[in-house]
Chains A and B, each alone.
Chain A
Amino acid sequence: MTKILPRKDVVIVGLGWTGSILAHELTDQGLDVLAIERGPWRDTATDFNIGYAQDELRYSVRRDLFLQPTVETMTVRNDPSQTALPMRDFGSFLPGNGVGGAGVHWNGHTWRFWDSDFQIKTNLTKKYGASRIADLQVEDWGVTGTEMEPYYDRFEYLAGISGKAGNIKGELQEGGNPFEDPRSRDYPNPPMQMTYAPTLFAEVGRSIGLHPFPTPSANMSRAYVNPLGIAMGQCTYCGFCERFGCANYSKSSAQTTILPVLMKKSNFEVRTDSEVLHVDLAPGGKSARGVTYVDTSGQEYFQPADLVLLCAYGLHNARLMMLSGIGKIYDPTSGEGTVGRNYCYQTNAGVQVFFDDKNFNPFIAAGALGQTIDDYNGDAFDHGALDFVGGAGINCIPTNGRPIGTRPTLPGTPKWGSAWKKATVEGYKSTLGYSSQGSSYATRNNYLDLDPTYKDRFGRPLMRMTFDFPDNDIRMSNYLCDRMEEIAKALGGKQYTVSRRKKGWDSVPYQSTHNTGGAIMGTDPRRSAVNTFLQSWDVPNVFVIGASAFPQNAGKNPTGTVGALAFRAADAIRNQYLRNPGAPLVQA
């Protein structure tokens, strides 16, 4: 029997970055807010205990803090002609779980997308003609860089980002990214102290005319107190960032920037270890009545609420919409339907340069400590004579020297035996790596829907992901690899390798947890699932917050934009939606 619970003003599904931001903003507005989180409560001193947090096997290899596939996975295939099969273990990407979500174990690269990313279709059409993007399904976001700026600013100050501005109100700043859009002020904290590898990478990059700058980092370069009054510590460069919780309060997350204040509010409550099964719609399907969730005992509850915010991981937001009947599921054959449309990813490639005479101490590292070159990212360079659109940031960000996973060796090295061992010892400290993090543009046949065969533990269909790298993106990535080779030659090691991106996306080796789209924002309800305030076109008292809203992905990490969109949605709810609850903020 489903138990019916007392009504709440707002129910938030998922208490990660976006759920925490929305909860904080809406409780400040005086609303009674409940967050329902599938995973456990997580707290720095107990869950990321400095006495045993530095455990590569447990947290990086066995992935203790991540979503376990037995709880939810998805099926995958490269194109609609194949039969999708379940990811029995996650590999290519690793969704988060529990309070704080993937923001607990991220690296902390915190970027702003550019106006040219937001107005991409308009911009590319104007510059290169519509035929240039005929094979792609790129869409404008319906917002401008100028509109997004204040929300980026709020997220960066909340999270205490360490970096160097490249452009303040139109004035270029020495040492920052000359390609970025104007920002209203500098980052709240100066850049991290550089380790050897990115320092060398930047020197060499500059020597060949490129413009390296310190990667904006959610690892603290110094102690910081954010606008909520919450204090963070200085990063200690321990090299246990990605896949780990931070044990000393020096990596931004909901835990270190919002929860200490949020959890003390009398109008906020979180229920952990509780999985939302679906959003319940009123008859007619035009408004949500609340959500149904199940706790670990198997008891089902109906939680009535006036406003439902989907703040789970982007992929899970899209699946919850599909399972709840919010909007129509995308069909690539007809091109109709919006939920699941424009699933995109990240098109990465890498270079390793081997030296004899250098010691990079790879274990002295942080998740976002490094240097980036944006000369070939997005709209920073002219594509007129090229056969692709898009680009990539070139990042030298050595995040760790953890030896189960990080043991670079010269090409041709055997995988075992004495020769393997000798090459492993030689390569461990003396290898410099960097990579291109490339844009991922939508196509008609890259999409999400529900799998016809495989079910989750509650008997609900798994989501099905159909994805391969578009030819445009492969051409882009190859171009970037050529540019990275120029840097490798200038670095002058004894040898280098380039790992190029190939067709046939492989779900096994880790690539990136930057899955975007599936519930994209826009101005046309036939081509987007949510409006530019992330409000569902179909069920206006549901907002869908996260990277699910990206119409396509840029050559940058998504969290900064996810945070900015969350603040923007919160402002829209506080200043507009609450004046006329239940009504669409934008008329279709």
Chain B
Amino acid sequence: MKKLVFTLVIGALALAIAPAWSADQADQIIRGQYQAVLGDCAGCHTQAGGKPLAGGLPLETPFGALVPPNITPDGETGIGNWSEADFRNMMKSGIGHNGVRLYPAMPYPAYTRMNDSDIADLWAYLTSVEPVSNKVEANQLPFPLNIRLAMLGWNALNFTEASFQPDSSKSAEWNRGAYIVQGSGHCGTCHTPKSFLGADKDSEFLQGASLQGWFAPDITNNAQSGLGKWSEEDLVKYLKTGVNAHSIASGPMAEAIENSTSKMTDPDLKAVAVYLKSLGSDAGNTQPAKPDETRMATGEAVYRDNCSACHGGDGAGAGVLFPSLAGNSIVAQGSSETLARLVLAGSQAVHTADAPTTPAMPSLAWRLKDQEIADVLTYVRASWGNAAAAVSSDDVAAVRKGLTQ
């Protein structure tokens, strides 16, 4: 929150020396800045330690690397030559200035649901930030995907320009949550499984997906793999602080929380929670087979010697410092990719004003062999009320390979 106030002050200073802006415009810029928070523009378009919105670090997509471009109002290297109409068109259709087609790593399939006034506010904000000259070679995809025209075909197959359709049978709060989750918040970009062409599988909306070496978990209300055991308050606390009784955010979600959700208003967070808790069903849930006892015994030995000092002998964790493993939604996912990654590479928790500690999981890649990691994860996934499938050493080996490449 402190950071936001700070930037708003800077914004006000800029206004003071820019007489062209009226009070109305200043309000619009401040609203637009909040749209940038909801959309987490900085998450991709700002590099750590770099100038705001002047271009980000490469995004690894299944098809190759894409570099988020400079979206400051610099004429040469940014979007200074764009018109508001260009911008609106890009957000709605993925077609940018001069008809350049964007790759859907830019989540226009979600932003298309944003309404015109929010897009106009966002545009007002983007034109007000400091122009930075920084040339970004956005497209580093291999042939033929490097031909942007290819997106024409992709869009034809996978994309329909749309507006958000409110559901009048639901509350205003639910509709606000749906608008943020489906639109500017673009939660599905990570959490919805993708087809082989990289498009969202709408039937599995927010049911968990693999990306960039992480498994973004199921965030529907599914009791087994999703947020069924979380209350709305748990969810709000998590999005606001990065920490709740069930989980501590790290990896890409830590960034999303730090840059975006921790800065959302409390009513918006509540709306998101109400909406997410309304999704999914437990109909297809099945109980995985119990792992065999030898693996549980070796897993327990590895757990006692490596994990219990932080996560506790009973998997209960310790408050905001060490996540509980009992009932943890990451542990409960069908995919063990994130778990294996955490054990192998470690990870640092998110920093927010309310949870500044940033505790970190150390890398145990040196100490533990693939089989030992598979056994300890199998043990964790089948203990203390957890009931997720056993993990094979091949699963772990694949993650280790991905990390060392």
Q: Is chain B in direct contact with chain A in the complex (CB below 8 A)?
A: yes
- The residues of A with any CB-CB pair to B shorter than 8 Å are 43-46, 49-52, 223, 225, 228-234, 236, 238, 247-249, 260-261, 264
Q: Would you call A233 and B346 a contact (CB within 8 A)? A: no
Binds A, one of B100-108, B185-193, B362-370: B362-370
Any A CB within 8 A of the CB of B310: yes
Determine how close the nearest CB of chain A comes to the CB of B387; give it in whole angstroms: 27
Which of B318, B355, B360 is within 8 Å of A44, CB to CB? B360
Q: Would you call A249 and B359 a contact (CB within 8 A)? A: yes
Collect the chain A residues with CB atoms within 8 Å of residue B359's CB.
44-45, 231, 249
- Known contacts A50-B310, A248-B309; A233/B318 CB under 8 A: yes
Determine how close the nearest CB of chain A comes to the CB of B65; give it in whole angstroms: 27
Interface size on B, residues (CB 8 A): 26
Interface readout for B301-339 with A: 1 if CB under 8 Å, 0 if not?
Answer: 000001001100000001111100000000000000000
16 contacting pairs across A/B (C-beta < 8 A): A45-B361, A46-B360, A49-B363, A50-B306, A50-B310, A51-B363, A51-B366, A229-B354, A229-B356, A231-B321, A231-B357, A231-B359, A232-B321, A233-B322, A248-B309, A249-B357
Q: With the chains together, A223 CA to B358 CA distance in Å?
A: 15
Q: Would you call A238 and B366 a contact (CB within 8 A)? A: no
Q: Would you call B346 and A45 a contact (CB within 8 A)? A: yes
Collect the chain A residues with CB atoms within 8 Å of residue B310's CB.
50, 233, 248
Dominant SS among interface residues on chain B: loop
A232, A233, A234, A261 — most chain B CB neighbours (10 Å): A233
Collect the chain B residues with CB atoms within 8 Å of residue A233's CB.
310, 318, 321-322
Contact residues of B between 344 and 392, Cβ < 8 Å to A: 346, 348, 351, 353-364, 366-368
Determine how close the nearest CB of chain B comes to the CB of A567; give it in whole angstroms: 20
B320, B362, B363 — most chain A CB neighbours (10 Å): B362
Which of B346, B356, B362 is within 8 Å of A260, CB to CB? B356
Collect the chain B residues with CB atoms within 8 Å of residue A49's CB.
362-363
Collect the chain B residues with CB atoms within 8 Å of residue A231's CB.
319-321, 355, 357, 359
**15 other contacts beyond A247-B309, A248-B322, with CB at 8 A cut-off?**
A43-B360, A46-B346, A46-B362, A49-B363, A50-B310, A50-B362, A225-B319, A229-B353, A230-B357, A233-B321, A233-B322, A248-B310, A249-B357, A261-B356, A264-B356
B309, B351, B353, B366 — most chain A CB neighbours (10 Å): B309
Determine how close the nearest CB of chain B comes to the CB of A140; give it in whole angstroms: 40
Collect the chain A residues with CB atoms within 8 Å of residue B346's CB.
45-46
Smallest CB-CB A-B distances: 7 pairs: A45-B360, A51-B367, A45-B362, A49-B362, A231-B357, A236-B309, A231-B321
Q: With the chains together, A536 CA to B353 CA distance in Å?
A: 37
Q: Would you call B356 and A45 a contact (CB within 8 A)? A: no
Collect the chain B residues with CB atoms within 8 Å of residue A45's CB.
346, 348, 359-363
Collect the chain B residues with CB atoms within 8 Å of residue A52's CB.
366-367
Collect the chain B residues with CB atoms within 8 Å of residue A261's CB.
356
Q: With the chains together, A238 CA to B310 CA distance in Å?
A: 12
Q: With the chains together, A18 CA to B353 CA distance in Å?
A: 24
Determine how close the nearest CB of chain A comes to the CB of B255; give it in whole angstroms: 14
Collect the chain B residues with CB atoms within 8 Å of residue A249's CB.
321, 357, 359
- Name which residue of chain A comes closest to B322, CB basis: A233
- Name which residue of chain B comes closest to A266, CB basis: B6
- Name which residue of chain A comes closest to B6, CB basis: A266
Determine how close the nearest CB of chain B comes to the CB of A520; give it in whole angstroms: 36
- Name which residue of chain B comes closest to A261, CB basis: B356
Collect the chain B residues with CB atoms within 8 Å of residue A225's CB.
319-320
Q: With the chains together, A303 CA to B82 CA distance in Å?
A: 43
- Known contacts A231-B319, A234-B318; A51/B309 CB under 8 A: no
Determine how close the nearest CB of chain B comes to the CB of A191; give it in whole angstroms: 19
Q: With the chains together, A231 CA to B323 CA distance in Å?
A: 13
Q: With the chains together, A223 CA to B316 CA distance in Å?
A: 13
Q: Would you call B319 and A223 a contact (CB within 8 A)? A: yes
Collect the chain A residues with CB atoms within 8 Å of residue B356's CB.
228-230, 260-261, 264
